[in-house]
């Protein structure tokens, strides 16, 4: 489904409750009360559709990209929170007070029993869910603990709001609206079942084995996996996988890594992993033969369908991983387009797979510009950072205006690179970027 159709589908789902409320034929209430109800309806719809925007569905993140999917997820979570927080305060109608001129209680808010408790609980829990996600990096919990709490918390809030809507919601008394909520809640539950049960079951039938682990640079490991009893993975160069090594496929301990090998290289897949935390720091000790599982392929950092006359790759640190895959594929396909690879690191010891860089230079005649901020005395490459001045110096020539720019690296470098390229006249559609952050 094209990205545009996905956006239309999203808007239809989120605004469907408003449309159903408008069609319900109930007598109108004061404007503030209708706004209060509308805020609650849209907030609940956004919350339920958030389950599909977790980044684990290829049909979505494969179209618009993982970065965009996650930015959407965060922005919409904040929007749902804002709407949910104002929802109870906008009401002007009296609560639970029978009015003599309103025997059917159209002008009274029914807010008692389960409707009250569930609404109050959801109101208290939703801000915690959002705030704990924003502050996740500063919390003393493992990523996996946060991930479990986030999924279960979101599910609990969805359940509470569902009961609240059916018990206390005026428009949610209508069978069509009830059907919509039940359908969206079922979709949310199914999305979790898909990610945590169906996908792992599928992975069990396609296990992998660690074929090699070797040091690729300072605190960076090259991990090669071989398919165990199957033909391997169908993927496009530049995509990434959630990698699980040595655990059951149902484990929450799986981390995203770009596939550094090209599909044309054969059925083995290779990753370049920089030590960062509890999982990546133990990779050096992983034994050959250890069982592994992949949830893949994901991501849209691919050259498929790109017809630009030349391609520039800008990589910072381990952001070189997908570049190896993309350049490897161009070599295999004998793609004649000119390519430039700008690769920035702090020290020479951090340069990964020097022999592979030499191979790319030799076979594809890729112009390789190495930049070090702390070079050794005998360094003959560029010195400094992969910053705005360097990008301007390298790519200001008008011949690069129609090229494709592929960026991958630390967030700060990516932002500077993207902004600078746009300032020198590169169209945003000619910039492909992937951040190594899944939140």
Ligand X SMILES: Cc1cc2nc3c(=O)[nH]c(=O)nc-3n(C[C@H](O)[C@H](O)[C@H](O)COP(=O)(O)OP(=O)(O)OC[C@H]3O[C@@H](n4cnc5c(N)ncnc54)[C@H](O)[C@@H]3O)c2cc1C
Closest by CA to 69, choosing from 80, 79, 56, is: 56
| Phi-psi group of 262: left, alpha or beta (phi > 0 → left; psi -120 to 50 → alpha; rest → beta) | beta
Nearer to ligand X, 169 or 322 (CB): 322
Q: Return the range that interacts with ligand X (CB under 6 A); candidates 90-98, 208-216, 273-281, 327-335.
A: 273-281
Nearer to ligand X, 41 or 321 (CB): 321
Give the nearest distance from C-beta 40 to ligand X in angstroms. 32
Nearer to ligand X, 121 or 253 (CB): 253
Q: What end-to-end distance do the CA atoms of the chain give, in Å?
A: 24
Query: How does strand 240-245 pair with strand 255-258?
Result: antiparallel
Question: Cis peptide leading into 297, omega within 30 of 0?
Answer: yes
State yes or no: residue 274 binds ligand X (CB under 6 A). Answer: yes
Give the nearest distance from C-beta 223 to ligand X in angstroms. 10
**What part of residues 137-156 is at the interface with ligand X (CB under 6 A)?**
137, 143
State yes or no: residue 66 binds ligand X (CB under 6 A). Answer: yes
State yes or no: residue 258 binds ligand X (CB under 6 A). Answer: yes
Q: Which one among 256, 310, 338, 410 touches ligand X, defined by CB under 6 A?
A: 256
Give the nearest distance from C-beta 321 to ligand X in angstroms. 4
Nearer to ligand X, 118 or 255 (CB): 255
Q: Which one among 50, 254, 265, 418 touches ligand X, defined by CB under 6 A?
A: 254
Q: Report the alpha-carbon distance of residue 357 to residue 341 in Å, rounded.
A: 9
* C-alpha separations of 191 from 32, 42, 44, 55, 222 in Å: 35, 20, 17, 11, 33
Site string for ligand X, 290-309 (x = CB under 6 A): ---------x----------
**Beta partners for residue 368, in sequence order:** 341
Give the nearest distance from C-beta 196 to ligand X in angstroms. 13
State yes or no: residue 222 binds ligand X (CB under 6 A). Answer: no
Nearer to ligand X, 280 or 373 (CB): 280
Give the nearest distance from C-beta 13 to ligand X in angstroms. 26
Site string for ligand X, 152-181 (x = CB under 6 A): ------------------------------
Q: Which residue is nearest to ligand X (CB)?
A: 277
**Beta partners for residue 270, in sequence order:** 224
Closest by CA to 71, choosing from 47, 55, 49, 51, is: 55
State yes or no: residue 255 binds ligand X (CB under 6 A). Answer: yes
Give the start-end residues of each E strand in 348-391: 367-372, 382-383
Nearer to ligand X, 162 or 242 (CB): 242
State yes or no: residue 439 binds ligand X (CB under 6 A). Answer: yes
3-state secondary structure of 351: coil
Nearer to ligand X, 135 or 204 (CB): 135
Counting DSSP H helices and E strands in the chain, the numbers are 12, 12
Q: Report the alpha-carbon distance of residue 257 to residue 274 in Å, rounded.
A: 10
State yes or no: residue 277 binds ligand X (CB under 6 A). Answer: yes
Residues 6 or more apart in contact with residue 86 via CB below 8 angstroms: 36, 39
Site string for ligand X, 97-126 (x = CB under 6 A): ------------------------------
* C-alpha separations of 324 from 65, 229, 304, 384, 429 in Å: 20, 27, 16, 23, 22
Give the nearest distance from C-beta 404 to ligand X in angstroms. 19
Residue 427 phi, psi dihedral angles, 5° rounding: -70, 140
Residues 6 or more apart in contact with residue 65 via CB below 8 angstroms: 299, 300, 301, 434
Please give the residue ranges that form the binding site for ligand X (CB under 6 A).
66, 137, 143, 240, 254-258, 272-274, 276-281, 299, 318, 321, 434, 436-439
């Amino acid at each position: 489904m094209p990205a545009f159709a996905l956006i239309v589908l999203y808007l239809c789902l989120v605004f469907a409750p408003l449309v159903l409320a408008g069609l319900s034929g109930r007598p109108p209430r004061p404007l503030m009360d209708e706004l209060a109800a509308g805020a609650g309806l849209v907030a609940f719809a956004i919350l339920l559709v958030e389950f599909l925007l977790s980044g684990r569905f290829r049909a979505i993140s494969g179209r618009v990209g993982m970065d965009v999917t996650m930015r959407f997820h965060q922005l919409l979570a904040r929007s749902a929170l804002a709407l949910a927080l104002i929802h109870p305060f906008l009401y002007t109608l009296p609560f639970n007070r029978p009015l003599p001129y309103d025997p059917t209680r159209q002008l009274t808010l029914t807010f008692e029993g389960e409707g009250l408790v569930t609404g109050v609980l959801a109101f208290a829990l939703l801000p915690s869910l959002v705030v704990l996600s924003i502050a996740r990096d500063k919390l003393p919990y493992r990523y996996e603990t946060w991930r479990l709490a986030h999924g279960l918390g979101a599910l609990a809030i969805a359940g509470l709001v569902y009961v609240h809507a059916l018990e206390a919601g005026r428009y949610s008394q209508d069978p069509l609206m009830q059907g919509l909520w039940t359908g969206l809640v079922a979709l949310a539950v199914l999305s979790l079942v898909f990610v945590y049960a169906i996908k792992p079951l599928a992975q069990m039938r396609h296990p992998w084995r660690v074929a090699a682990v070797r040091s690729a640079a300072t605190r960076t490991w090259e991990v090669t996996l071989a398919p165990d009893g199957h033909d391997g993975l169908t993927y496009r160069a530049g995509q990434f996988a959630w990698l699980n090594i040595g655990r059951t496929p149902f484990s929450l301990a799986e981390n995203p890594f770009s596939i550094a090998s090209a599909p044309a290289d054969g059925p083995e897949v290779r990753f370049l992993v920089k030590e960062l935390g509890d999982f990546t720091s133990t990779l050096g000790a992983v034994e050959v033969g250890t069982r592994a599982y992949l949830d893949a392929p994901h991501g849209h950092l691919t050259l498929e369908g790109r017809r630009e006359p030349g391609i520039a790759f800008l990589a910072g640190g381990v952001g070189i991983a997908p570049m190896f895959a993309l350049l490897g594929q161009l070599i295999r396909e004998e793609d004649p387009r000119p390519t430039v690879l700008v690769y920035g690191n702090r020290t020479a010891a951090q340069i990964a797979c020097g022999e592979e860089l030499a191979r790319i230079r030799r076979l594809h005649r890729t112009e390789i510009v190495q930049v070090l901020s702390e070079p050794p005395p005998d360094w003959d490459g560029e010195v400094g950072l992969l910053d705005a001045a360097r990008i301007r110096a390298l790519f200001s020539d008008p011949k690069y205006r129609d090229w494709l720019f592929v960026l991958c690296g630390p967030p700060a470098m990516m932002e500077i690179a993207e902004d600078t390229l746009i300032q020198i006249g590169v169209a945003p559609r000619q910039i492909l970027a992937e951040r190594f952050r899944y939140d």
